[in-house]
């Protein structure tokens, strides 16, 4: 299940895989529609109404990558900028559950309908207890984060990434992992944020991997 072009999922749970499989299939159709009529990414208002009707989730391979990363560092506290319908959240919550700890994911979403859909999807997987989604603009809702965050996924709208990351970065523990979606098509839109991660003065080691639409990976050095 949840397979496309030979992709193998590391999630060995038929209930979760069934939900992921269904959601990815819907997202595939939406992605094909967007490929046929690409949204204008330049000079546009990146407010809550932009792509409101689209899930725009991470790709399956990125989900597998996130799951395995969160397992390998035994992540307990994960912050996610940009929850949408919660596909990435499901992969991360599955990892927290399978780590066998009482971990939590703090999600963020400024479209109420998307947040409600994410909540339903999480309930369907049985993983909702590991997730608290904060409704509103992450530039406000992530102002009071706990110390010692193990991992974060940066997958909100790119013009806000640096401002949001400045709220998260001081709360990341040493060795924490940062994953960035969309270092391909969204490269220009988040150039300031990517430059921040690359700058050694900011305390991160950074590289990019050809997974999904380009995936940034950073580790907090100090
Ligand atoms: C690319 S989608 C996230 C996909 C999700 N991570 C997944 O894999 O299913 C980006 C989401 O971030 C939300 N978003 C963008 N900027 C935001 C902000 N400043 N505060 C809260 N949510 C934001 C958008 O509404 C959108 O649903």
In order of their start, the domains of the chain are: 14-220 (3.40.50.150)
pLDDT at 5: 65
Span 89-134, pLDDT tens digits:
999 999 999 999 889 999 999 999 999 999 999 999 999 999 999 9
Q: How far is the CA of 107 from the centre of ligand 1 (A)?
A: 9
- Cα of first residue to Cα of last residue in the chain, in angstroms, is 40
Q: What angle do CA 159, 115, 66 make, to 5 degrees?
A: 70
Does the pLDDT value for residue 3 go beyond 60?
no
Bridge partners (DSSP) of residue 78 are 105, 151
Integer Cα distance of 183 and 197 in angstroms: 12
* Consecutive H or E run containing 153: strand 149-154
> Is 122 in contact with 148 (CB distance < 8 Å)?
no
Question: Tokens in use for 54?
Answer: 């689209």
Checking if the pLDDT of 194 tops 70, the result is: yes
CB of residue 81 inside a 6 A radius of ligand 1:
no
Q: Provide the pLDDT for residue 51.
A: 76
Angle at which helices 14-36 and 87-99 cross, to 10° = 150
Here the tokens at position 195 are: 């430059």
Q: What pLDDT is attached to residue 97?
A: 97
Q: 101 or 5, which is more confident?
A: 101
Is the Cβ atom of 111 under 6 angstroms away from ligand 1?
yes
pLDDT at 43: 62
**Which of 44-53, 75-84, 99-108 is the least confident region?**
44-53
**Ligand 1, atom 6: closest residue by C-alpha:** 83
Q: Say yes or no: CB of residue 85 within 6 Å of ligand 1.
A: yes
Q: Which atom of ligand 1 is nearest to the CA of 80?
A: 6
Nearest Cα residue to atom 22 of ligand 1: 109
Distance 155 CA to ligand 1 centre (A): 6
Q: What is the pLDDT of residue 54?
A: 85
Ligand 1 atom nearest to CA at 82: 12
Q: Determine the pLDDT at residue 1.
A: 45
Asked if residue 58 has its Cβ within 6 Å of ligand 1, the reply is yes
Assess whether pLDDT exceeds 70 at residue 156. Answer: yes
Q: What is the mean pLDDT of residues 47-62?
A: 86
Q: Report the C-alpha gap between 105 and 200 in whole angstroms.
A: 28
Provide the β-strand partners of residue 177: 151, 219
> What pLDDT score does 108 carry?
98
Residue 56: both structure tokens together? 């725009």
56 or 154: whose pLDDT is higher?
154
For 11-43, the pLDDT digits (tens) are 999 999 999 999 999 999 988 888 887 777 776
User: Cα of 202 to ligand 1 centre, how many Å?
Assistant: 25
DSSP state of 58: P
Residue 179 has pLDDT above 90, yes or no: yes
Pocket test for ligand 1, best of 2, 34, 152, 157 (most atoms within 8 A of CB): 157
């Amino acid at each position: 299940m949840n397979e496309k072009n030979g992709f193998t999922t590391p999630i060995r749970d038929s209930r979760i895989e069934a939900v992921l499989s269904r959601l990815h299939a819907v997202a595939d159709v939406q992605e094909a529609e967007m490929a046929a009529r690409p949204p204008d990414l330049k000079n546009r208002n990146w407010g809550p109404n932009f792509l409101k009707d689209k899930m725009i989730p991470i790709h399956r391979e990125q989900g597998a990558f996130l799951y395995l990363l969160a397992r390998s560092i035994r992540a307990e506290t994960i912050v996610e900028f940009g929850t949408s319908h919660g596909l990435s959240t499901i992969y991360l919550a599955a990892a927290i559950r399978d780590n066998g700890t009482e971990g939590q994911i703090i999600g963020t979403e400024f479209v109420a309908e998307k947040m409600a859909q994410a909540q339903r999807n999480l309930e369907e997987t049985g993983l909702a207890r590991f997730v608290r989604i904060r409704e509103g603009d992450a530039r406000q809702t992530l102002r009071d984060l706990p110390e010692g965050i193990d991992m974060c996924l940066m997958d909100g709208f790119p013009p806000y990434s640096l401002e949001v990351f400045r709220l998260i970065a001081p709360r990341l523990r040493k060795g924490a992992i940062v994953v960035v979606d969309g270092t391909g098509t969204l490269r220009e839109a988040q150039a300031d944020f990517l430059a921040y991660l690359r700058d050694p003065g900011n305390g991160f080691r950074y590289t990019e991997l050809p997974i999904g639409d380009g995936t940034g990976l950073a580790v907090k050095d100090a």
